[in-house]
Chain A
Amino acid sequence: MCASPAMTTSGEDVDYALRVSDLGKSYAKADGTGFRLHQVTMDLPMGYIMGLIGPNGAGKSTLIRLLLNMTRRDSGEISILGRDPLSREEEVKADLGVVFDSIYFPEAWKVKAVEPVMAPMYPSWDSDRYHDYLRRFGLQENRKIGKLSRGMQMKLMLAVALSHDARLLILDEPTSGLDVLARDELMDILLDYIGDGRHSVLFSTHITTDLERVADFVTYINRGSVFYTGPKDELMEAFQVVRGGPDDLAGAQIPYLMGLQRSATGFEALVPAEHLKDFLASASPAAVEPSDGRYLVERADFDNIIRLTAGSPAATDRNKEVES
């Protein structure tokens, strides 16, 4: 049930807010290790919210910087709002709103300096809207930006991003400085933003609880590779979390699981839903029903999935070169 194709300000029909295909980037880090973003492919249809999740250092911020051409890609294609962001960079960025994890204005500036700087940049700048947001967020014009709290700085970036009819909103770890109330408010704002079906959101975070309810699509990146991309519900239903005692895990069961954590009091395993029966059948003695008593089987949520797959063999194999 898709909304009708959305029109961009230039009048083109766009079905996808963002398409990324086989994106790759590798570089050497200061500490001598290397990093590689490898064959990243994902699509975000217009009118929806996509969460970008994964542990720290997985490559989420690198991906966002590649989308904004802040760093150059080694390979792959990107299409933002139906256009090539390299050859039509200014057109594309005029329709993008961006919120980073820290403020991108000099800290010496005052809040009131922002509008004269940003307004001329965007033909569709809406000054009334901008001031409404400043009021709503409680941002005072005479305060120095450096003196604002992290959360207020994020809100300032958000106010700017929402004030020029950007069609795609990109947020890179915006919630780390916010309390729960502010995060709820942000979710409300995002849902309202996509409300007419003509705007989309890409939201990268490691605080997964925010996204679990609100994201339509999810891309899970781990160690530079895409572990999963697609509808959020499918990811969560693709796995079950199985818990058991320390001696309840047999060798025969290992091939069926995707991720595992062991402790003195037991284990926690991530089992693909289609393998659950086999997993239980390979126990010794075999377990027939999930309610066997030995095992506790639950729905997986983002935290479990990330935590249990962060060091998984599958992810490691794909990125063997990273370790050099």
Chain B
Amino acid sequence: MKLIISSLSGQPIYRQIEDQIRSAILTGDLKAGEGLPSLRHLSQELRVSVLTVTRAYTELAQEGLVENIQGKGTFVADSGDQVMRRHLEDRVQSLLGEAVDTARRAGMEPDRIRGLLDGLLGDKGSAPASEEGKE
């Protein structure tokens, strides 16, 4: 499992660990039932504190992505990738909700909002059509 942690990124380290493990589960790099490195082992590998790793694992366990089995270690939950997906979908929904609220406050019409969305989807991640937003 690849984990790259940066002290300088501004993001708390436990969050970086969480995010990268989540991605690994989502993409299938970490399979259901697979064991994560032990707390102390990972802490030595990344040269970060044990509690930081503990926190990352705990939060992932609370999300249902991993399971902590007493005495054995932490393992990817059986339906980890599905949980991930549901998780992300929920997130998209709430982000879209925020975007729609903001758009309404800006007085944007629903068609205009849809147009923006299509533009973003069509561009497949290249620079969003921000020129249209600037008025």
Contacts and interface: CB of A to CB of B under 8 A. Distances in A.
Q: Say if the two chains contact directly (CB < 8 Å).
A: yes
Interface of A: 1, 47-49, 184, 187-188, 191-192, 194-197, 209, 212-217, 231-233, 236-237, 298-299
B47 interface: yes
Given A213-B7, A237-B12, A232 B51 contact: yes
Contacts of B44: 188, 191-192, 195
Interface in B44-80: 44, 47-52, 54-55, 57-58, 68
Interface in B73-104: none
B51 A194 contact: no
Nearest to A196: B40
Given A1-B57, A1-B58, A213 B40 contact: no
Contacts of B107: none
B10 interface: yes
Contacts of B40: 191, 194-197
B12 A233 contact: yes
B47 A213 contact: yes
A188 B68 CA distance: 26
Most chain B beta carbons < 10 A, residue from A1, A213, A216: A1
Contacts of B49: 48-49, 213-216, 232
Contacts of B10: 298-299
Q: DSSP majority for the B interface? A: helix
Most chain A beta carbons < 10 A, residue from B7, B40, B49, B68: B49
Interface string B12-44: 111000000000000000000000000111011
Most chain A beta carbons < 10 A, residue from B40, B50, B55: B50
B58 A191 contact: no
15 contacts: A48-B50, A188-B44, A191-B40, A191-B47, A195-B40, A197-B40, A213-B47, A213-B48, A213-B49, A214-B48, A216-B49, A216-B52, A233-B12, A237-B12, A299-B10
Contacts of A48: 49-51
B47 A47 contact: no
A233 B7 contact: no
Contacts, number: 58
A237 B11 CA distance: 11
B47 A214 contact: yes
A220 to B, nearest CB: 16
B84 to A, nearest CB: 22
Contacts of A195: 40-41, 44
B91 to A, nearest CB: 21
A119 B52 CA distance: 37
B17 to A, nearest CB: 12
Contacts of B55: 233
Nearest to B52: A233
A181 to B, nearest CB: 13
B7 A299 contact: no
A216 B51 contact: yes
A242 to B, nearest CB: 15
Nearest to A232: B49
Given A1-B57, A298-B10, 10 more contacts: A48-B49, A48-B50, A48-B51, A184-B47, A191-B47, A209-B7, A213-B52, A214-B47, A217-B51, A232-B52
A232 B54 CA distance: 13
Contacts of A298: 10
A233 B59 CA distance: 14
A231 B12 CA distance: 14
Nearest to B44: A191
B39 A212 contact: no
A1 B13 contact: no
